[in-house]
Amino acid sequence: TIVTRLADYRVPEFLIEKTQLTFELHEAHTDVSSQLTLVRNPQGSQAAHLELHGEQLELLTLAIDDRVLTSKDYRTTPQNLTIYNVPERFVLHCTTRIYPEKNTALEGLYRSSGMYCTQCEAEGFRKITYYLDRPDVMSEFETVIIADEGAFSTMLSNGNCVSDTVKDGKRIVHWHDPFKKPSYLFALVAGNLACLEDHFTTQSGRQVLLQIYTAAKDQDKCHFAMQSLKKAMRWDEQTYGREYDLDRFMIVAVDDFNMGAMENKGLNVFNTSCVLAHPASTTDAAFRRVEGVIGHEYFHNWSGNRVTCRDWFQLSLKEGLTVFRDSEFSADMNSRAVKRIEDANVIRSVQFVEDAGPMAHPVRPESYMEISNFYTVTIYEKGAEVVRMLANILGPTLYRQATDLYFSRFDGQAVTCDDFVQCMEEVSSKDLSQFRLWYSQAGTPHLQISDSYDAARQQYSLTIRQYTPATPGQTDKKALHIPFKIALYDNQAALPLVINGQNQGTETVLDICQDEQTIVFEQVTEPPIPSLLRGFSAPVKISYDYQLLQLQQLILLDNDGFCRWDAMQNLMRMVLSKTIDGANNHAEQAALIAVIKQLLTNHAMMDAALLACMLSLPNSPYLASLYEKADPVAISQARTQLQDQIAAELQTELLNCYQVLQDQTHGLTAPAMAARSLRNAALAYLLHIDEVRYRELAQQQFAQANNMTDQYAALCALVYAEHAEATAQEALAAFYQQWQHEALVVNMWFQVQATRPWGDVLQTVRKLLSHEAFDARNPNKLRAVIAAFASRNFAQFHDKSGQGYQFLAEQIADIDQRNPQMASRLLTPLTHWHQFTDAHAALMRAALESLTQRELSKDVYEVVSKSLH
Ligand code: B3K
Ligand code: ZN
């Protein structure tokens, strides 16, 4: 298998000024004719031959200008078409035949529920026609779609519709996209779809037509996405000064999609799960996800499309920036504290794990076998944290100036992460050379923090040591530039901070740049409580030896939502690790119960959504990451035990909270959503108690709920409770009966069963695979059953028999035959073997090794071979 390296980047030998495509859609195949206006790139090395990408294509005709080429003029391989001795400037005419009906990889042009759609990022366009399928070749596209008259009501491509005519029984629709773009942003859709329309007036007064296309039965589920789109458009104008540029913005929902959505220019294609939403069938969390993904794809119009990536090593240039943008959008639309906690939680429990294992790679990787494997939490979420740090280092005004400069300087170009940082540097005159290491150095920095208090001098000193463990291929780690936000508390409030005689207010950002640094705070009249890494100001691990009382104080007092939550996570972690180690933890338990009691009793005094977050225990992957070799069984048991105990000791408070909030949970407003989340968190705890009245509570909520959040929370509480099996089975049957015609809800029904923490879930999962509603070709179904079991059912997947691991390997071998991207993605949990005790690690490796006996796709091969190292 061939490795692609950043160091081997060369500019393209040819550029494509114009791309004209004609698609003739037939029942059993599609013919694609292309006319490419090619010119030699003056910056290239003047190669005599033209080498185009192309895979799984049947070449029908090939001509240069008017000259038909014969087999001695060119050569094809499974990956390329090479045409010998081409002129400086010419039009290449090519016809290829493809088979969308047989395309199960869902990359290139394929059919989903009868409709045609495309997915070209990263390298799918080459499965449509021969092309320079690389992001630094940007071209103006014209697309003609031809199908039998009446076959499809909707025939779409990027840009504006030029004409729509019928001739000789064929419908011919002609599209033109005036903005140059790389081939990965090309899209085509043809199907029988209904359309919700609206309009948006941009800041400069232009009218934009907004359209959301779905199956007719889903039209009533598009209103929220439409509202979200308009909010995103306004937000990007107000926050980044970015205005939409075409006359029309289209979104199409498809059932079969490998990821969430795709930002094709003017024609976003969405997984139905990220666009459809209706209160009866969609949970609050899913509503927020729809809003976030709509924002994300819309924001790509500037961060990704107008300014794109030079090569795929720069993927985080568009993804990191766009995730940061969507995260701020969501924070502005909903609770900022909760969004920050959710993001930090993903970084800590998913990205840190990736960064500590065999698949660790920098935000800007240096090599890959299959680029599809690099759409990772490191590229996306850590990349977003890197942009966030830059934004914080510059401050809002300079950051905005820097992004303005970036968008105007590089408009219509394909650029690098370094170009982005350069803009930040130029505008701010700050030296970001050390900061750039965040792009090239993999691994998570650990900060060891110690302190001392000098009563005589009234000084408080913090000493911070940083070190980053080795990652594959990178043993020598340098000190990073870490913006470290802190505050100091006494038992009432945040203290004024004085450093070197300078007053800093009550919160400050320390620039940690050395292996070890000591900061001295002056005029501190008593030993303070440090509030560290406020707002999760950098994606780093910290360790500081907190006293129980200090954590309790931070939980009650800290005005930084993330730190409050983190203090609670810390306290819970102290209880859990002692349970896991078999140590006495009475003091920790008492402190935890007391502080939760205080919060629940006074819940009206705080944001209910934040309190709901604070009530959830540290998740298992995060707990596992705290050990050199974690015992997954012990971790799961400790968590269940603590949940049982919290429920038992605080049942009065939990029940009270549940009842009091009852009449605050109507509608889709932020306070109602917050109330639902807290109330359902209380319910989940109450179901840890083996009493009929709590089962009845859940049963009643399940039956009477007028929204999916409450109905599903009740169902989960029943299914997860170890002593409610009969009630749970009834509820599951009723739920399926009620929702069997809504695929997205059926997926939730699959998911709750696959994530049940007790009993023989593997058997249940195997049964679900042969359920009438299961479809192994549909990625959402694979995620709802297999991914749910393997990455969201820690206790069961890590059953000590190793059967969970074997099961996953078998499934992957099967899925890989059809859809390598999905197979490779599902493999992730097995790549974490390094986190676990020898017995588990050996079983996980054995499952990975069993895959090496098979014929594997490049995608799965790369992950298996790298993770076994
Ligand atoms: N850019 C796409 C991801 C494409 C993944 C290709 N394997 C969605 C997004 O990040 O917006
Ligand atoms: Zn993206």
pLDDT of residue 730: 98
Q: For residue 305, report the distance from its CA to the centre of ligand 1, in Å.
A: 12
Q: Does ligand 1 have an atom closer than 6 angstroms to the CB of 262?
A: yes
Q: Does ligand 1 have an atom closer than 6 angstroms to the CB of 319?
A: yes
Range of lowest pLDDT (542-551, 632-641, 665-674, 746-755): 665-674
Instruction: Give the CATH number for residue 1.
Output: 2.60.40.1730
Q: Does ligand 1 have an atom closer than 6 angstroms to the CB of 372?
A: yes
Average pLDDT of the residues in 335-349: 98
Which ligand places an atom closest to the C-alpha of 260?
Answer: 1
Q: Is the Cβ–Cβ distance between 716 and 641 less than 8 Å?
A: no
Q: Which atom of ligand 1 is nearest to the CA of 380?
A: 10
Q: Which residues pair with 93 in a beta bridge?
A: 35, 63
Q: For residue 464, report the distance from its CA to the centre of ligand 1, in Å.
A: 38
Q: For residue 45, report the distance from its CA to the centre of ligand 1, in Å.
A: 32
Q: Is the pLDDT of residue 497 over 90?
A: yes
Q: Is the Cβ–Cβ distance between 582 and 628 less than 8 Å?
A: no
Claim to verify: residue 598 and residue 480 sit in the same structural domain = no
Q: Which atom of ligand 1 is nearest to the CA of 821?
A: 7
Claim to verify: residue 493 and residue 517 sit in the same structural domain = yes
Claim to verify: residue 149 and residue 110 sit in the same structural domain = yes
CA-to-CA distance for 786 and 741, rounded, in angstroms?
21
Instruction: Give the CATH number for residue 769.
Output: 1.25.50.10
Q: For residue 355, report the distance from its CA to the centre of ligand 2, in Å.
A: 20
Q: Does ligand 1 have an atom closer than 6 angstroms to the CB of 344?
A: no
* Probe residue for ligand 1, chosen from 183, 259, 265 as the CB with the greatest number of ligand atoms within 8 Å: 259
- Confidence bin at 814 (pLDDT 50/70/90): very high
The catalytic residues are 297
Q: Is the pLDDT of residue 1 over 70?
A: no
Amino acid letter for position 313: F
Q: For residue 197, report the distance from its CA to the centre of ligand 2, in Å.
A: 24
Task: Report the number of distinct structural domains present in the chain.
Answer: 3
Among 539, 566, 583, residue at a domain's last position = 539
Q: Does ligand 1 have an atom closer than 6 angstroms to the CB of 371?
A: no
Among 508, 539, 570, residue at a domain's last position = 539
- Closest-CA residue, ligand 1 atom 8, reads 262
Q: Note whether residue 326 is domain-resident.
A: no
**Residues with Cβ < 8 Å from 818, sequence gap 6 or more?**
104, 105, 776, 777
Q: Does ligand 1 have an atom closer than 6 angstroms to the CB of 133?
A: no
Span 209-254, pLDDT tens digits: 999 999 999 999 999 999 999 999 999 999 999 999 999 999 999 9
Q: For residue 298, report the distance from its CA to the centre of ligand 2, in Å.
A: 9
Claim to verify: residue 657 and residue 696 sit in the same structural domain = yes
Span 819-841, pLDDT tens digits: 999 999 999 999 999 999 999 99
* Probe residue for ligand 1, chosen from 106, 110, 120, 121 as the CB with the greatest number of ligand atoms within 8 Å: 121
Instruction: Give the CATH number for residue 505.
Output: 2.60.40.1840
pLDDT of residue 552: 98
Assign residue 721 a region (left: φ > 0; alpha: ψ between -120 and 50; beta: otherwise). beta
Q: Is the pLDDT of residue 28 over 80?
A: yes
pLDDT of residue 869: 87
Q: Which atom of ligand 1 is nearest to the CA of 297?
A: 11
Q: Note whether residue 178 is domain-resident.
A: yes
How much of the chain exceeds pLDDT 70, in percent? 100
CA-to-CA distance for 401 and 385, rounded, in angstroms?
19
Q: For residue 471, report the distance from its CA to the centre of ligand 1, in Å.
A: 26
Q: Which atom of ligand 1 is nearest to the CA of 122?
A: 6
* Probe residue for ligand 1, chosen from 110, 263, 316 as the CB with the greatest number of ligand atoms within 8 Å: 263
Claim to verify: residue 818 and residue 673 sit in the same structural domain = yes
Task: Please give the model's pTM, rounded to 2 decimal places.
Answer: 0.99
- Confidence bin at 257 (pLDDT 50/70/90): very high
* Probe residue for ligand 1, chosen from 298, 308, 329, 375 as the CB with the greatest number of ligand atoms within 8 Å: 375
Claim to verify: residue 814 and residue 780 sit in the same structural domain = yes
Q: Does ligand 1 have an atom closer than 6 angstroms to the CB of 296?
A: yes
Q: For residue 509, report the distance from its CA to the centre of ligand 1, in Å.
A: 34
Which ligand places an atom closest to the C-alpha of 323?
Answer: 2
Q: Note whether residue 417 is domain-resident.
A: no
The 3-state secondary structure of 218-254, one letter per residue: HHHHCHHHHHHHHHHHHHHHHHHCCCCCCCEEEEEEE
Q: Does ligand 1 have an atom closer than 6 angstroms to the CB of 566?
A: no
Q: Is the pLDDT of residue 818 over 80?
A: yes
Claim to verify: residue 694 and residue 793 sit in the same structural domain = yes
Query: What order do you get walking across the sheet with 207-214 strand by strand?
Result: 194-201, 207-214, 248-254, 267-271, 261-262
- Confidence bin at 512 (pLDDT 50/70/90): very high
Q: Which residues pair with 61 in a beta bridge?
A: 95
- Closest-CA residue, ligand 1 atom 3, reads 262
pLDDT of residue 11: 98
Using the structure block, give the residue that is written with the tokens 């010419």.
90
Q: Shortest CA distance to 382 belongs to which of 438, 433, 333?
A: 438
Claim to verify: residue 658 and residue 719 sit in the same structural domain = yes
Q: Which atom of ligand 1 is nearest to the CA of 293?
A: 11
Among 192, 214, 245, residue at a domain's last position = 192
Amino acid letter for position 181: K
Claim to verify: residue 555 and residue 703 sit in the same structural domain = yes
Mean residue pLDDT of the chain comes to 98
Claim to verify: residue 747 and residue 657 sit in the same structural domain = yes
Q: For residue 381, report the distance from its CA to the centre of ligand 1, in Å.
A: 13
DSSP 668-736: SSHHHHHHHHHHHHHHHHHTTS--HHHHHHHHHHHHH-SSHHHHHHHHHHHHH-TT-HHHHHHHHHHHH
Q: Note whether residue 373 is domain-resident.
A: no
CA-to-CA distance for 809 and 786, rounded, in angstroms?
11
Claim to verify: residue 508 and residue 565 sit in the same structural domain = no
Q: Does ligand 1 have an atom closer than 6 angstroms to the CB of 375?
A: yes
Q: Does ligand 1 have an atom closer than 6 angstroms to the CB of 297?
A: yes
Claim to verify: residue 736 and residue 700 sit in the same structural domain = yes
* Probe residue for ligand 1, chosen from 126, 185, 270, 319 as the CB with the greatest number of ligand atoms within 8 Å: 319
| Half-sphere exposure (Cβ direction) of 638: Cα atoms closer than 13 Å | 26
- Closest-CA residue, ligand 1 atom 7, reads 372
Which ligand places an atom closest to the C-alpha of 375?
Answer: 1
CA-to-CA distance for 508 and 258, rounded, in angstroms?
43
Q: Note whether residue 304 is domain-resident.
A: no
Q: Note whether residue 141 is domain-resident.
A: yes
Q: Note whether residue 736 is domain-resident.
A: yes
Exposure pattern of 403-413 as b/e (b: 16+ CB <10 Å)? beebbeebeee
Span 750-809, pLDDT tens digits: 999 999 999 999 999 999 999 999 999 999 999 999 999 999 999 999 999 999 999 999
Average pLDDT of the residues in 356-360: 97
- Closest-CA residue, ligand 1 atom 1, reads 262
- Closest-CA residue, ligand 1 atom 5, reads 121
- Closest-CA residue, ligand 1 atom 4, reads 121
- Confidence bin at 847 (pLDDT 50/70/90): very high
User: Which range of residues forms the domain containing residue 23?
Assistant: 1-192
Q: Note whether residue 11 is domain-resident.
A: yes
Q: For residue 521, report the distance from its CA to the centre of ligand 2, in Å.
A: 42
Protein residues within 5 Å, CB atom, of ion ligand 2: 319, 322
